Structure 1
Amino acid sequence: MIWFLILLAAASGVLAYFAGSALARRRASVTGVATAHSRPEQHGYYALIWVAVPALAVTLLAGVFSGPLAHNLLVAGAPEAVMALEPFRREAFFNDARLVGAGQAAFQVWPGLLGDALVTEAARSARISQTLTWGGVAATILAVLMGGLFAWTQIRPTLRARNRVEGWIGGLLFACSAVAILTTVGIVFSLLWDSLRFFQAVPVTEFLFGLQWSPQIAIRADQVGSTGAFGAVPLFAGTFLIMLIAMIVAAPVGLFSAIYLSEYASPVSRGIVKPVLEVLAGVPTVVYGFFAALTVGPAFREFFNGIGALLVGGPLDGLGQYLLLVQNQMALVAGAVMGIMLIPFVSSLSDDIINAVPQSLRDGSYAMGATKSETVKRVLLPAALPGIAGALLLAMSRAIGETMIVTMAAGLAANLTLNPLDTVTTVTVQIVTLLTGDQEFDSPKTLAAFGLGLTLFLVTLMLNVVAQRIVQTYREQYD
């Protein structure tokens, strides 16, 4: 029904556009074209808006409220035998009644009186659905007629149709902006609400400065390994360790690739290398995770185990014994593969930013006798620094929020370490772990995910503020 109403509203809007344009031309020909404020097409758009927007509003309301209304009407007239059922079985009965009324098979067989009631309620459900469908069609047609009648009374040569259409467009753009802002506000408030519930059970100081992360809470007094410790320092240490490794890989490789593509590569080389490099941005992160777990991890383990075997028995026997114990999952593997994933972000954005530097700066540098490398180092990079900082910030945000690569390549152990050869975990991985499966949203274990999310949000916000200040400082210098 919804799609039919949308098509009805769209078709009515198209007809209103042509009718409104024709009406504007006819009325302008009577009074004189010179007196018309707007073009006939603007009058057509004005009629389209007043016909299509109310019809789409009715369609939206029908889509939102038709289901609950049909359910309430079905429940209101249900027989006593159905209402005496348990809530779960009663909802299952009504669902089967809707399926049978729509011509489908029920999920289960209802015995005795319930079987007879199912047939009766299915027929009543079909009638309710049909009534609501025709009611929605009638309401949409009524909205179309009322909107069209209003537009017909308003269209005249002196109507400022262009201004009013522009006002509608401005209102639409404002609504889209408001949606983005309200979504952000909603995210913040949802995080704040559940985070406050979490911090009522766990002190903030313990969460921010605690050195042990074990969110499992013991159900019995003799249960072992469920201490309920919520110190998040190991999670933040693992997150920033992997991010640092990833940026060590992505920042220089991506930036140097951008410099080569922008200043040194021929048009043919650029046309080949740039699309191939950007293919990396379209690879799913789970594929990177497989690559890290099945290829990079074993290769790194064999490499470090081989070095350890060479050191055993010598002056560095302790280091050799440690390297022999290195496993596939480690922070270095996750960070290195994540850095490969981030190269296209840094490279593509930096390339566009460097190309946006005015050619006059290059020409002035060459006129002073500077070489190409000196021009890049002393002119282009300082001028493009604000944009490059933004590209690096985007890559950092992507690294902080990455989950699949860390889960498959770095492990789940919350170790407080800065050793890249140890297994670590990150904030995002723990959020997914805490919210996976059936959870009780009254326990500190589940609410800890919101505390982690709020803290990560604040850290990312601080990074954005610092980067914005850097951008503003250098932009004033080079604008």
Structure 2
Amino acid sequence: MSVAAIGLLVLGLGLIAWVTARARAAAFAGIGGDTKERPHSRPSQHGWYVALWTVLPAALFLVAWQNISGNLVYAQVLASPEAAGLPGFGLQRSTILNEAYALATGASTTAFNREAFALAPAYARALSFYNWIGFTVAMLVAFAAGAWAFSRLSPQFRARTRVERVMMAILLLASLIAILTTLGIVLSLLFESLRFFAMVSPIEFLFGTSWSPQMAIRADQAGSSGAFGAIPLFWGTIFIGAIIAMIVAIPLGLMSAIYLTQYAKPRVRAWLKPILEILAGVPTVVYGYFAALTVAPAIRDLGLSLGIRSSTESALAAGLVMGIMIIPFVSSMADDSIAAVPQAMRDGSLAMGATTSETIKRVLVPAALPGVVGGVLLAVSRAIGETMIVVMAAGLAANLTLNPFDSVTTVTTQIVQLLTGDQEFNSPKTLAAFALGLVLFLVTLALNIVALRVVKKYREAYE
């Protein structure tokens, strides 16, 4: 019996505990009983109290048991007669054990090593033995904790307070997990970046104009020291994500929001708004295919027809498709901001003789501007973190150019390139990815903080 199956049985036992405790508490409340004493908590709260005591201790045991039982199974398998012929410590030994485990659990029906077939029955016996131990102990813990909680039920028992404290603890734990995860990301980036800056000058990294992180094998090879000037990467990120993409996304997103809120009929809006927001749910790799197979060749042919030197992969192709991708981010924020402007302001402007377009230009957009600006900044932070579209349509060349028909690269693309394949984490080439990630993290964090501050500072509260 697997741990997942045991978990489902524990949840079923918790459901039974909830129903039983609720029925017992209903008798306290006089539903099916003759007592006149007013209970402190509702029957459902008594039910949740017993259910939580039934499920949580058993769930904690299963989490701990899943980590402990693996070592016990491994030790029992190695002590079995079938493991006598295993080779010593090494890759072959690990491969045989992994294949035997896959055969025992049914994850695979074939194995490359014949020894795995002989070892699979020992793995199956060990897994079954310790799973049954886990099942027995989990059921005993769930039943004992549930019975103890059930014995405490009484009209005076403060089940509501206990349940609320448990839920508060769970919510606090979820918040701490999110905070600690963010802290772990920042610290991992920071420590590895400090290792990189111990090898490469921060001045060279932040202000250098040559990016060639390839490290030669021998000292006499050309470019053996590498070049880590990240200015071309920063410029490519800004050029594609903050300039070209925004030139596409801001006008189209804002105008679509104005049309949907001011001109479209309710039936048309009910259809167009979900269709527009579908763009936000399309996987970025699909946008990348569209950019590489459709937009990039068309941009190249356009440039050649105009007599402009053009590349098959260009900043313009990636920026246009990226702008289309983030239209829903701009449109949704602008839509909500414009719709939040009171109807009295619209009516007052129209009553003064202003046309609909004048009302939009002079009343609605200025009133909704904080939300629009916040949406634009959030869209920029989304655009500069995009990877797949740039990888497939903009190329990998670190060029410092103003020509949108040239191939450029971005920070995220280079992070993918630097961390692809087997890498040594002691070389500046690999550690450069963490330094780039730290810069990107700080930039996107700053953009999000600015967006929130703009919305908070300039937001007007309407009655």
TM over 0.5: yes
Which secondary structure state, in structure 1, belongs to the residue aligned with residue 213 of structure 2?
strand
Match of 2:373 among 382, 389, 395: 389
- Give me the whole-angstrom Cα distance separating, in 1, the residues matched to 2:94 and 2:283: 40
Q: Deviation of residue 427 (structure 1)? A: 0.1
For the pair 1:229 / 2:227, whether they are aligned, the reply is: yes
Which secondary structure state, in structure 1, belongs to the residue aligned with residue 326 of structure 2?
helix
- Give me the whole-angstrom Cα distance separating, in 2, the residues matched to 1:99 and 1:302: 53
Which secondary structure state, in structure 2, belongs to the residue aligned with residue 377 of structure 1?
helix
Report which stretch shifted further, 69-78 or 227-236: 69-78
Q: Deviations over 1:346-367 (max 9, x none)?
A: 1123212221222233233333
Q: Deviations over 1:22-44 (max 9, x none)?
A: 22233455783442111111111
Which secondary structure state, in structure 2, belongs to the residue aligned with residue 217 of structure 1?
coil
Which secondary structure state, in structure 2, belongs to the residue aligned with residue 107 of structure 1?
coil
2:287 alignment partner in structure 1: 288
- Give me the whole-angstrom Cα distance separating, in 2, the residues matched to 1:382 and 1:171: 44
2:198 alignment partner in structure 1: 200
- Give me the whole-angstrom Cα distance separating, in 1, the residues matched to 2:34 and 2:184: 53
For the pair 1:252 / 2:255, whether they are aligned, the reply is: no
Q: Against the structure 1 CA distance between its residues 476 and 146, is the aligned structure 2 distance closer, same or farther, given a 3 Å change threshold?
A: same
Identical columns (%) = 54
Paired residues for 1:235-314 under 5 Å = 235-243=233-241, 244-308=243-307
2:186 alignment partner in structure 1: 188
The residue type equivalent to 1:387 in the other structure is G
Superposed CA RMSD in Å reads 2.4
Which secondary structure state, in structure 1, belongs to the residue aligned with residue 227 of structure 2?
strand
2:403 alignment partner in structure 1: 419
1:334 alignment partner in structure 2: 318
Report which stretch shifted further, 159-168 or 135-144: 159-168
Q: Deviations over 1:226-260 (max 9, x none)?
A: 55111111100000001111001100110011001
Aligned residues of 2:375 and 2:451 also touching (Cα < 8 A): no
1:128 alignment partner in structure 2: 126
Which secondary structure state, in structure 2, belongs to the residue aligned with residue 35 of structure 1?
coil
- Give me the whole-angstrom Cα distance separating, in 2, the residues matched to 1:52 and 1:218: 58
The residue type equivalent to 2:323 in the other structure is G
- Give me the whole-angstrom Cα distance separating, in 1, the residues matched to 2:141 and 2:197: 51
2:90 alignment partner in structure 1: 87
For the pair 1:462 / 2:446, whether they are aligned, the reply is: yes
What runs of 5+ residues in structure 2 fail to find an aligned partner?
none
Q: Deviation of residue 196 (structure 1)? A: 1.3
Q: Against the structure 1 CA distance between its residues 80 and 296, is the aligned structure 2 distance closer, same or farther, given a 3 Å change threshold?
A: closer
Q: Against the structure 1 CA distance between its residues 227 and 415, is the aligned structure 2 distance closer, same or farther, given a 3 Å change threshold?
A: farther
Match of 1:359 among 299, 318, 343: 343
Q: Against the structure 1 CA distance between its residues 109 and 416, is the aligned structure 2 distance closer, same or farther, given a 3 Å change threshold?
A: closer
TM-score of the aligned structures, taking structure 1 as reference length = 0.89
- Give me the whole-angstrom Cα distance separating, in 1, the residues matched to 2:101 and 2:318: 50
Q: Deviations over 1:127-157 (max 9, x none)?
A: 3212211111012111211211221222110
1:319 alignment partner in structure 2: none
Q: Against the structure 1 CA distance between its residues 368 and 15, is the aligned structure 2 distance closer, same or farther, given a 3 Å change threshold?
A: same
Q: Against the structure 1 CA distance between its residues 86 and 173, is the aligned structure 2 distance closer, same or farther, given a 3 Å change threshold?
A: closer
Report which stretch shifted further, 366-375 or 147-156: 366-375
What runs of 5+ residues in structure 1 fail to find an aligned partner?
309-322
Q: Deviation of residue 378 (structure 1)? A: 2.6
Q: Deviations over 1:188-237 (max 9, x none)?
A: 11111211111111111111111111111110134335551111111000
Match of 1:74 among 69, 74, 77: 77
- Give me the whole-angstrom Cα distance separating, in 1, the residues matched to 2:98 and 2:282: 41
The residue type equivalent to 1:257 in the other structure is S
2:66 alignment partner in structure 1: 63
- Give me the whole-angstrom Cα distance separating, in 2, the residues matched to 1:99 and 1:274: 48
- Give me the whole-angstrom Cα distance separating, in 1, the residues matched to 2:100 and 2:278: 51
Q: Against the structure 1 CA distance between its residues 464 and 105, is the aligned structure 2 distance closer, same or farther, given a 3 Å change threshold?
A: closer
- Give me the whole-angstrom Cα distance separating, in 2, the residues matched to 1:265 and 1:100: 61
Q: Deviation of residue 409 (structure 1)? A: 1.5
Matched residues, number: 458
Aligned residues of 1:383 and 1:478 also touching (Cα < 8 A): no
